[in-house]
Amino acid sequence: MLKLEHMNHNAQDAKKGYLDNKIKEIIQAYHKVKDETDLSPNNPKINNALSFLVGTAMEINSNLDDAKAIMSDAYIKSIRNSIKNLAQNAEYQMENFWNDYFLKQKNTPDLTDFIYHAQYDHITDKEHALFDCEVGNLLSCGQNKLKPRVAFAGSGPLPLTAILLSQKHGIMIDLIDCCPNAVKKSTDLIEKLGIPVKAINVCAQDADYSKYDIVFIASMIDCKKDVMNKLVKDNVPYISVRGADGLSQLFYDDINPDDYAPYKLMSYAPSDEMSVNSSYLLHKE
């Protein structure tokens, strides 16, 4: 019995040491870049820090109890919003960087050059599978099937989810973004790729969604409540929203499906070793 208790104490000490070390590494990574002004991929400090943080999140998320323990740390809680703001600003700069990279190519851009292409491809397939399973092939555009009318709210300058849905599944999507620069850049890229996707310059909360069957809501949209009110008003039947599990909440806010009433949760795909985001499918009855 004493030997068993000793082994349990050793395991607990090892776990505490592991979590304390991860907390220390996260804090160190943040402090290395918290005062950086260039958040683009041109800055190797940003690349290294964010690659480490994202990799750590996907590693830790395999054990959500560990993730919860790290997120409960007092200092992590105190810097969480700063990490989120830095990561989201860096993500936007990364999209601009890669849009410019693809537009400079003489021939049709090879999107697999994008460092996170595999991750985007993975989560896009997961979200397509949610709809395909739960909505009776609504997003499957095979022979003799009606093509759904789809919008992506908050699409940004590198609308890779919409591009992949178009290229892989034949989905025609309207991109909605309030930033003229993002709309211009995404339009130029879409034209270069030759895919049937259209970008519309309007704020997500002001768009007319009445003609759409499905609306994807970007994880970085701040005005989700206002967008939701407009979706309800325009009677959109299905929405897909990205949230965040565990340590991914360093970068994104999680969502509570109850906050999306009168929409009800139909299905959910958690984050995993290939995607930092979770995905929610909701339906308005």
The per-residue pLDDT for 114 is 95
Q: Is the pLDDT of residue 9 over 70?
A: no
Contact 99, 91 (CB under 8 A): no
Say if residue 161 is in the same domain as residue 240.
yes
Tell me whether strands 198-201 and 278-284 are parallel, antiparallel or unpaired: unpaired
The per-residue pLDDT for 27 is 96
Write out pLDDT tens, residues 48-98. 999 999 999 988 988 889 999 999 999 999 999 999 999 999 999 999 999
Domain with 58, as residue range(s), is: 2-103
Say if residue 68 is in the same domain as residue 175.
no
145, two tokens: 């099937």
pLDDT bin (cut points 50, 70, 90) of residue 221 is confident
Say if residue 174 is in the same domain as residue 280.
yes
The per-residue pLDDT for 12 is 73
Say if residue 133 is in the same domain as residue 209.
yes
The per-residue pLDDT for 3 is 54
Say if residue 133 is in the same domain as residue 71.
no
Q: Is the pLDDT of residue 156 over 90?
A: yes
Q: What are phi and psi of 239, to 5 degrees?
A: -135, 150
Say if residue 49 is in the same domain as residue 9.
yes
The per-residue pLDDT for 104 is 95
Contact 45, 25 (CB under 8 A): no
Contact 162, 173 (CB under 8 A): yes
SS (H, E, C) the chain: CHHHHHHHHHHHHHHHHHHHHHHHHHHHHHHHHCCCCCCCCCCHHHHHHHHHHHHHHHHHCCCHHHHHHHHCCHHHHHHHHHHHHHHHHHHHHHHHHHHHHHHCCCCCCCHHHCCCHHHHHHHHHHHHHHHHHHCCCCCCCCCCCCCCCEEEECCCCCCHHHHHHHHHHCCCEEEEECCHHHHHHHHHHHHHHCCCCEEEECCHHHCCCCCCCEEEECCCCCCHHHHHHHHHHCCCCEEEEEECCHHHHHCCCCCCHHHHCCEEEEEEECCECCECCEEEEEEEC
The per-residue pLDDT for 155 is 93
Q: Is the pLDDT of residue 265 over 60?
A: yes
How many Cα atoms sit within 13 Å of 216 on the Cβ side?
Answer: 32
The per-residue pLDDT for 208 is 96
Say if residue 150 is in the same domain as residue 222.
yes
Q: Is the pLDDT of residue 139 over 70?
A: no
**Domain end: 58, 85, 103, which one?**
103
The per-residue pLDDT for 196 is 86
Say if residue 97 is in the same domain as residue 141.
no
Q: Is the pLDDT of residue 116 over 70?
A: yes
**Domain end: 54, 81, 103, which one?**
103
The per-residue pLDDT for 132 is 73
Q: Is the pLDDT of residue 259 over 60?
A: yes
Who's near 187: CB < 8 A, 6+ residues apart? Answer: 199
The per-residue pLDDT for 10 is 65
Say if residue 133 is in the same domain as residue 225.
yes
Say if residue 238 is in the same domain as residue 207.
yes
Q: Confirm whether pTM is higher than 0.85.
A: yes
pLDDT, mean of residues 25-52: 95
Nearest CA to 267 out of 285, 241, 244, 237 is that of 241
Q: Is the peptide bond before 262 cis (omega within 30 degrees of 0)?
A: yes
pLDDT, mean of residues 100-128: 93
Write out pLDDT tens, residues 241-257. 998 989 999 999 888 88
Mean pLDDT of the chain: 89
**Domain end: 103, 128, 157, which one?**
103
What total number of domains does the chain contain? 2
Residue 150's domain is classified under what CATH number?
3.40.50.150
pLDDT, mean of residues 273-277: 87
Say if residue 125 is in the same domain as residue 263.
yes
The per-residue pLDDT for 272 is 84
Q: Is the pLDDT of residue 162 over 80?
A: yes
194: left (phi over 0), alpha (psi -120 to 50) or beta: left
Say if residue 40 is in the same domain as residue 176.
no
Above pLDDT 90, what percent of the chain? Answer: 65
The per-residue pLDDT for 255 is 83
Q: Which residue has the higher pLDDT, 7 or 87?
A: 87
Nearest CA to 250 out of 277, 281, 217, 279 is that of 277
Q: Is the pLDDT of residue 136 over 70?
A: no
